[in-house]
Amino acid sequence: MDPLTLAIHATPAFVASAVEFVEATTIVLAVGVTRGWRAPLIGTLAATATLAVIIATLGVALVTIVPEAVLKGVVGALLLLFGLRWLRKAVLRFAGIVAIHDEELIYQRELAELRAQGMRKTEFDWIGFLVSYKAVLLEGTEVAFIVIAFGAAGGTALTAATVGAIAAGLFVIALGAALRKPLTMVPENWLKFGVGAMLCSFGVFWFSEALGMEWPGDALSIPLIVGAFLAASWLAVRMLRALLPEGARVEARNV
Amino acid sequence: MFKTIWSTLYGLLVDDGQLAVGALVALAITWVLAYAGGDTGRDLAGWVLLVMVLALVVANLYRAGVDVRRRVSSAQR
């Protein structure tokens, strides 16, 4: 596969994984800043090792052993459920019904909670270890799911999805290490909106292919499906804004 | 432990039970159409699934908006 084709195929996994990595990085940064770096870094490495085992056993077995049509069908259905969840939340956020995801706020809350826990300097910081381990494992599981989903066709698709996720991880970790503060400049809410539409589109695409349907232009029809999901979501945002005036939208978050 | 695994898996995939059930029904209809509808059914399956899911998203969010409006107005009273 030439680098340009690889980049195109790796982009959906890169974008989707970057969102998850930003969330995990925020937590690890908060732990590191308040309680020191040793325990959260060990927690992150332990979670990464756990994920590697999960992907190596489950993911590779799925892609190599399960027949392609069955895999596409199951992954397509799961992807649609997963994507609809993201898209629904993104629409509710943009309509003002659910509070916009704020990494700075999450970071400050995490700082306050961790400071309140306190620690003894002489002991290994198990709280810092567990908080980081849990955050990286949880967000990492979503990344593993994304890689398996986008790589469901096997071969080059799996390679591209893996490359995309690794590139996103390296990019976000490098950014977090350089700044040492929450990555608020990443347009996370917009990315989530796009990722929700992409996941749903891949879900519809894979599931239909598993049933034997041939899309016109094959993978070229995916942008068209993404466009349809974005248009429906935009319509839903407009509809919700019309249903609820501004004051009611703010109040809705507290009801 | 199984309860925790189940709740994590449920949380990962489902945000709203009705939306998830609706999606599963749409997938089942598509499957039936592809297998019982012959070549035409199979060729149309994807488009039918797309239309059903788009309608489901808009309808689910409309219902969510109406629910929120009702809760806000009852909280104001």
State the ipTM, two decimals.
0.84
CB contact under 8 A, B57 and A236: yes
Using a pLDDT cut of 70, give the percent of chain B over it. 78
Distance CA B50, CA A200 (A): 9
State residue A255's pLDDT score.
47
- A19 has a pLDDT exceeding 80: yes
Each residue's pLDDT tens digit, A204-232: 998 999 998 888 887 788 889 999 999 99
For residues A26 and A20, give the distance between their C-alpha atoms in angstroms, rounded to a whole number. Answer: 10
Average pLDDT for B40-50: 92
User: Is the Cβ pair A204, B35 closer than 8 Å?
Assistant: no
User: Number of Cβ pairs closer than 8 Å across A and B?
Assistant: 123
Hey, how many other C-beta atoms are within 10 angstroms of the C-beta on A77?
21
Cβ neighbour number for residue A149 with a 10 Å cutoff: 22
**Confidence check: pLDDT of B1 > 60:** no
The pLDDT-based confidence of A122 (bands split at 50, 70, 90) is low
- The answer, yes or no, to whether residue A178 has pLDDT greater than 60, is yes
Q: State whether A239 and B61 contact (CB < 8 Å).
A: yes
CA distance A3 to chain B (A): 31
Nearest CA among A66, A91, A67 for reference residue B60 = A91
Nearest to B52 by CA among B30, B75, B21: B30
What whole-number distance in Å separates Cα of residue A26 and Cα of residue A23? Answer: 5
Q: Please report the sign of the dihedral spanned by the C-alpha atoms of residue A115, residue A117, residue A122, residue A125.
A: negative
CB contact B34 to A (< 8 Å): yes
For residues B36 and A208, the answer to whether their CB atoms sit within 8 Å is no
The pLDDT value recorded for residue A253 is 60
A217: which chain B residues are within 8 Å (Cβ-Cβ)? none
Which tops the pLDDT comparison, A254 or A200? Answer: A200
**Residue B54: other Cβ atoms inside 10 A:** 20
Q: Which residue has the higher pLDDT, B68 or A115?
A: B68
Compare all CA atoms of chain B with the CA of A242 and give the residue at the minimum distance.
Answer: B65
Instruction: Kindly indicate the confidence band of residue A154, based on its pLDDT and cuts at 50, 70 and 90.
Output: low
Domain layout of chain B by residue ranges: 2-76
Model confidence at A127, pLDDT cuts 50, 70, 90, reads confident
The pLDDT of residue A97 is above 90:
no
Q: Which of A58, A74, A80 to mutate to test the interface with B (most CBs of B within 10 A)?
A: A80
| Residue that wins the pLDDT comparison between B68 and B34 | B34
pLDDT at B52 (0 to 100): 95
Q: From the CA of B36, how many Å to the nearest CA of chain A?
A: 11
Q: What is the mean pLDDT of residues A6-11?
A: 74
pLDDT above 90 covers what percent of chain A?
10
Q: What percentage of chain B's residues is helix, strand, coil (to nearest 5)?
A: 90, 0, 10
User: Distance from A222 to chain B by nearest Cα, in Å?
Assistant: 11
Candidates A200, A211, A244; nearest CB to B69: A244
Question: What span, in angstroms and rounded, lies between the C-alpha atoms of B23 and B49?
Answer: 9
Residue A217 is predicted with a pLDDT of 83
- Distance from the Cα of A77 to chain B's closest Cα (Å) equals 7
Phi-psi region at A99: left, alpha or beta (left = phi > 0; alpha = psi -120 to 50): beta
Cβ contact A80–B42 (<8 Å): no
pLDDT over 80 (residue A152): no
Q: pTM score, two decimals?
A: 0.73
Q: Do B65 and A207 touch (CB under 8 A)?
A: no
Q: Give the whole-angstrom CA distance, residue A110 versus residue A129.
A: 14
In this model, does residue B25 exceed pLDDT 90?
Answer: yes
pLDDT band at A94 (very low <50, low <70, confident <90, very high): confident
Q: For testing the chain A interface, which of B48, B53, B60, B73 should be mutated: the one with the most A CBs within 10 Å? A: B53
pLDDT at A46: 92
pLDDT at residue A101 tops 70: no
